[in-house]
Amino acid sequence: MIGGLFIYNHKGEVLISRVYRDDIGRNAVDAFRVNVIHARQQVRSPVTNIARTSFFHVKRSNIWLAAVTKQNVNAAMVFEFLYKMCDVMASYFGKISEENIKNNFVLIYELLDEILDFGYPQNSETGSLKTFITQQGIKGQTKEEQSQITSQVTGQIGWRREGIKYRRNELFLDVLESVNLLMSPQGQVLSAHVSGRVVMKSYLSGMPECKFGMNDKIIIDKAGKGGVTNEAGKSTSGKQSIAIDDCTFNQCVRLSKFDSERSISFIPPDGEYELMRYRTTKDIILPFRVIPLVREVGRTKLEVKVVIKSNFKPSLLAQKIEVRIPTPLNTSGVQVICMKGKAKYKASENAIVWKIKRMAGMKESQISAEIELLPTNDKKKWARPPISMNFEVPFAPSGLKVRYLKVFESKLNYSDHDVIKWVRYIGRSGIYETRC
């Protein structure tokens, strides 16, 4: 298990040092500084073995967090714990910086005492930690309050405390997707996938039981079979069901229920958290199509024409569109003409950058450029890097739709109808490239 945990600043000075096991000595603190922080070359591995002692480290801005052990620990767990540690600290005092760590070192020691016992991670949910690690002392607690704290820290729902009250029950659901594409010059999709996240902000009273539904193909097909026929089921729900390759859930979701019924049910943490992540590769809506045309005119000139077509409902608007057209290294001058937006040749980046603020669906726009080249004796041909694109669209390129999010709280008298729900879809470009 974890034998010790150290936090260093960028110079390698120790800010926090907490040793959990007898086999870790003070010299371990120095060993890491000398061999990793002060090492000349770039970090070659996040796990370092120095004199039979293993160091796991992560970096947050200038700060190094290192977990130390002499045993065969679960390495994945150690890193997950270090990330969690960062989350907890961030939620207590904001950005993880030298200043903040020094200002809160007593708090950090108190947290480290609580969330790591003999090197075993314990409950590390900020929701419940904040009920009893307050830096204010826990004087005025009644016996009931104390036992409520302990039962919550050790309980099945360690991520939420009892007795939360809101005047207005409200929840915000964001479906955030990043769409990745590699397309051939002829418009053939070489690879495409969407990685998405469902982020939720919940401000709900009590211990609400939630059920989240989306247009998951497996569920829809199941429901379809239960109904009249598969065909009829499809027509009622439209073509809109999507095949999800894989998904992972926040620990509040009952995994066994998802495995057996594929239903997503949970008691949400309070405030903002990530409910799930998913990945899809089938039937992706590609918001933009890039059609490149590159012509070499003699040895000193290139003619480039790029057409972009938006491929979504005309009523929707895409934003922050940026097309990046690479130019050869021996470019001497560029003339650009574009119908919409602004385009500029950036010599330092070897690219023409074309920016459009907004663009509606089912439109197209084009840019043409003449690139003057310096004659070179370099035999090597220009490798023609792909044209890349950035954008943001107000829908989910995977086609994911939130069908419902039901809230049940049996003890308090508010019902699903009283909860105000907001759903938002944002699709962003990941690595979105077209070869030319």
Partner 1 sequence: MTDSKYFTTTKKGEIFELKAELNSDKKEKKKEAVKKVIASMTVGKDVSALFPDVVNCMQTDNLELKKLVYLYLMNYAKSQPDMAIMAVNTFVKDCEDPNPLIRALAVRTMGCIRVDKITEYLCEPLRKCLKDEDPYVRKTAAVCVAKLHDINAQLVEDQGFLDTLKDLISDSNPMVVANAVAALSEIAESHPNSNLLDLNPQSINKLLTALNECTEWGQIFILDCLANYTPRDDRESQSICERVTPRLSHANSAVVLSAVKVLMKFMEMLPKDLDYYGTLLKKLAPPLVTLLSAEPELQYVALRNINLIVQKRPEILKHEMKVFFVKYNDPIYVKLEKLDIMIRLASQANIAQVLAELKEYATEVDVDFVRKAVRAIGRCAIKVEQSAERCVSTLLDLIQTKVNYVVQEAIVVIKDIFRKYPNKYESVIATLCENLDSLDEPEARAAMIWIVGEYAERIDNADELLESFLEGFHDESTQVQLQLLTAIVKLFLKKPTETQELVQQVLSLATQDSDNPDLRDRGYIYWRLLSTDPVAAKEVVLAEKPLISEETDLIEPTLLEELICHIGTLASVYHKPPSAFVEGSRGVMHKRLPARTGSGEGTECPDVGNAAGGSAPEAAPSIIPSQGDLLGDLLNLDLAPPTTTGPTPSTSGMQMGGMDLLGGGLDSLVGTMGAGFGAAPTVMPASLNAPVGGGLGDLFDLGGGVGMPMGAYIPPKTVWLPAMKAKGLEISGTFARRAGVIQMELVLTNKAMSVMTDFAIQFNRNSFGLAPAGPLQVLTPLGPNQTIEVSLPLSTVGPVMKMDPLNNLQVAVKNNIDVFYFSCQYPISMLFVEDGKMERQVFLATWKDIPNDNESQFQIQDCHLNSEAASNKLQGSNIFTIAKRTVEGQDMLYMSIKLSNGIWVLAELKVQAGNPNYTISLKCRAPEVSQCVFQCYEAVLKN
Please give the residues from 239 up to 298 whose contact with partner 1 meets the rule CB under 8 A. Answer: 245-251, 254-256, 258-260, 274, 276-277, 279
Listed ranges 132-140, 162-170, 289-297, 365-373: which one lies at the site for partner 1 (CB under 8 A):
132-140
List binders of partner 1 among 59-118 (CB under 8 A): 69-77, 79-83, 99, 102-106, 109-110, 113, 117-118
Alpha-carbon span 54 to 2, nearest angstrom: 10
Nearer to partner 1, 159 or 354 (CB): 159
Residues 6+ apart with CB under 8 A from 320: 357, 390, 391, 392
CB nearer to partner 1: give 102 or 301: 102
Q: Which residues pair with 365 in a beta bridge?
A: 308
Among 20, 266, 391, 395, the residue binding partner 1 under the rule CB under 8 A is: 20
Whole-number minimum distance, CB 106 to partner 1, in Å? 6
Smaller CB distance to partner 1: residue 266 or 312?
266
Rounded CA separation 305/367 (Å):
6
Among 34, 39, 138, 293, binds partner 1 (CB under 8 A): 138
**Least Cβ distance, residue 386 to partner 1 (angstroms):** 12
217 in a labelled binding site:
no
- Retrieve residue 408's tokens: 């049940």
Quick one: DSSP state of residue 287? S
Burial (CB count <10 Å: 0-12, 13-18, 19+), residue 255: exposed
Q: Which residues inside 394-413 make contact with partner 1, applying CB under 8 A? A: none
Shortest Cβ distance from residue 241 to partner 1 (Å)?
A: 18
**Which is nearer to partner 1, 23 or 322 (by Cβ)?**
23
Closest CB to partner 1 among residues 83, 422: 83
Residue 346 among known ligand-binding residues: yes
> What is the 3-state secondary structure of 108-153?
HHHHHHHHEECCEECCCCHHHHHHHCCCCCCCCCCHHHHHHHHHHH
- 105 or 422: whose CB is closer to partner 1? 105
To partner 1, the closest distance from the beta carbon of 72 in angstroms equals 4
HSE-up of residue 149 (Cα within 13 Å, Cβ side):
13
Stretch that binds partner 1, among 124-132, 166-174, 325-333, 369-377 (CB under 8 A): 124-132
Local structure of 343: helix, strand or coil? strand
DSSP string spanning 363-423? -EEEEEEEEEE------SPP--PPEEEEEEESS-TT---EEEEEEE-SSSS--GGGSEEEE
Interface with partner 1 (CB under 8 A), residue total: 93
With CA atoms as reference, report the closest residue to 183 among 172, 191, 175, 174: 191
The reply on whether position 26 binds partner 1 by CB under 8 A is: yes
- Residue list 167-206, contact with partner 1 (CB under 8 A): 191, 195
Pattern 309-338, partner 1, x by CB under 8 A: ------------------------------
Q: Is 357 annotated as a binding residue?
A: yes
To the nearest 10°, report the CA torsion of 372, 377, 379, 384: -20
| Binding site members | 342, 344, 346, 355, 357
